[in-house]
Structure 1
Amino acid sequence: MSRLLGLLGGTFDPVHNGHLRAALDVCEAGQLDQLRLLPCHIPPHRQTPRVDAATRLQLLQAAIHGEEPRLVVDDRELRRDAVSYTVDTLHSLHLDFPAARLCLLLGTDTFNGLPSWHRWRELGELAHLVVMQRPDFSATDDPVLARWMRERRTEDWTDLRAEPFGRVLFQPVAQLGISASLVRQRLAAGRSARYLVPEPVWQQIQQQQLYAAP
C-alpha cells in the first residue's frame, strides 16, 4: 500500500495545543505514515501574521519536539516569497513524494469556504481532503461544494491509500476550544497562555516577549 502523508497548513500564529491534538487524532485514526505541518508565509484569506515567519517556524519546531518523525515541520511555503496558495504547495509536494498519497487536513469552517480558494477544484486532483470534524459541524449550504463533495465522500480510510487523490473524508477530532486569536488576545492583555500552548512554546513566548500589547 502507498504511504499516506497528512498535510496541515496554517499561519500557526502561534501554534497551540488545539492544532497538535487534532493533528495527532488524524494521525492515529488514519494510521498516517507522517503528518507535515506547513506554516504559511503570506496567507491569502486572512490578515498578516503578528509574528515573523522565522519566529513562527521556531515555535512550531519546538512544539513538535519528541514527536518526530510522525510530525514534521515543512517550511516550503516560508521559502516562497509569494502568497501561499495551497494548490502550488501540493504540486511541490508531488515532486518530492511522487509515490505517496497526500491528505490535506482542513477544519470544517475552512472546508465550507473552499470555493473561495484559488483554483480550489484542482485540490481534489492532487490530494485527498480530510475534514477535521467538530461536534457542532453543519454541512455546507453551498450547492456547488455539496455536489462536489457527494461525488467524492468516503467513510473508509483504506480508500485514501488505495486511490491516488480525490476522496473527502470527515474525521472527528478532539475539540479543545483553543484558537490562535484567543492566545494572542490573552497575551496582549498581559494574561498567561500557559497550558493553551505546548510548554516549550510558552517558554519561548515569555523569553522573547512575543504577542505582548504594543
Structure 2
Amino acid sequence: MHVIYGGTFDPIHHGHLRLALEVVDALQVERVNLVPCHIPPHRSGTGATSAQRLEMICLAIEGEARLCVDDRELQRAGASYTADTLRQLRHELGPHQPLVMVVGTDAFASFDQWREWRGIPELAHIVVVSRPGSELPEGSAASCLLDERRAETVSDLWQAPAGKILEFDSPLIDISATGIRQRISGGHSVRYLLPDSVLQRIHEQGLYGACPDRNF
C-alpha cells in the first residue's frame, strides 16, 4: 500500500507529523509520503516558498524512517491538483497496488470543488481524518460520497487498489499552520508547536515575519 498525505505544510508542525505516524500505525504500512503542494488551488499563495517549505519538511522528518517527502508537485508548473498527482502515482504503481490519500474533514467537506473530484476515488482510496470543529454537512456531496464508498475497516483498503473511503479518528493535536504564522508575525513564541530545527530555520530566514535575531 502506498500512502500520501498532501498539504501546503506552511510550516510543517507537530500536528502534521503526529498524524502521519498515527496513519502509519493504523494502516499498518511502512511509511507515509508527505507531498507538499507547489501552488495551492484554493488559497492565495503561501507564506514560505516551495523550496523553503520543502527544506523545513526535510528538517522535520530527519531520522524518522516512517516518513518521507515526495516533491513531485513542486516540480510541476502551475497549481497543484490532486487528480494529476494520483494519475501519475497510479501509472508508477500499476493498476493493482492500493493507493491511499489522507485528507482532513475540513478539506473533504468541499471535495466537490476539487478538480475532477468524481474521478479521484477511481484512482485511490481516501482516508478522512477528523479535524476539530469540522463535520461533513448532511446531504452534501462529500457526505453522500462517503456513504456510497464507506470502508468499514482498514482491511477493506487492502482488498482493492482504490474506491473506498475510511473515516479515521486520530488522537487530535489541535495545531494549525495558520495559528503558527499568526503567532510568529505577532512576536509570540511557537516553541513546542513544531520541531526546533524547523523553528530555527524560520528565524534564520525571517519567515512569516519572524525576527532573525530573536531568541526562539
Q: TM-score band (shorter)?
A: over 0.9
Q: Which residue of 2 aligns with 1:86?
A: 82
1:208 counterpart = 2:205:
yes
Q: Which residue of 1 aligns with 2:57?
A: 60
Contact 2:10–2:46, Cα closer than 8 Å, also in 1: yes
Contact 2:106–2:135, Cα closer than 8 Å, also in 1: no
Structure 1 runs not aligned, ≥5 long: none
What letter matches 2:75 in structure 1? Answer: R
Q: Which residue of 2 aligns with 1:161?
A: 158
**Higher alpha-carbon deviation: 89-98 or 204-213:** 204-213
How well do the aligned residues superpose, as a CA RMSD in angstroms? 1.6
Question: Cα gap change, 1:207/1:79 in structure 2, threshold over 3 Å: closer, same or farther?
Answer: same
Which whole-Å CA distance do the structure 1 matches of 2:155 and 2:203 have between them? 44
Deviations 1:68-116 (A, max 9, x none): 2x21100000000111000000011112222531111010111111001
User: How many equivalent residue pairs?
Assistant: 210
Cα offset, 1:137, TM superposition? 4.8
Deviations 1:142-176 (A, max 9, x none): 44333322121012111101111010001111222
**Higher alpha-carbon deviation: 90-99 or 174-183:** 90-99
Which whole-Å CA distance do the structure 1 matches of 2:7 and 2:18 have between them? 15
2:195 to 195, 198, 204: 198
Higher relative contact order (CA 8 A, sep 6+): 1
Cα offset, 1:23, TM superposition? 1.0
Structure 2 runs not aligned, ≥5 long: 212-216
1:138 to 135, 141, 145: 135
**Higher alpha-carbon deviation: 129-138 or 20-29:** 129-138
**TM-score relative to the length of structure 1:** 0.92
Q: Which residue of 1 aligns with 2:71?
A: 75
2:92 to 90, 96, 102: 96
**TM-score relative to the length of structure 2:** 0.92
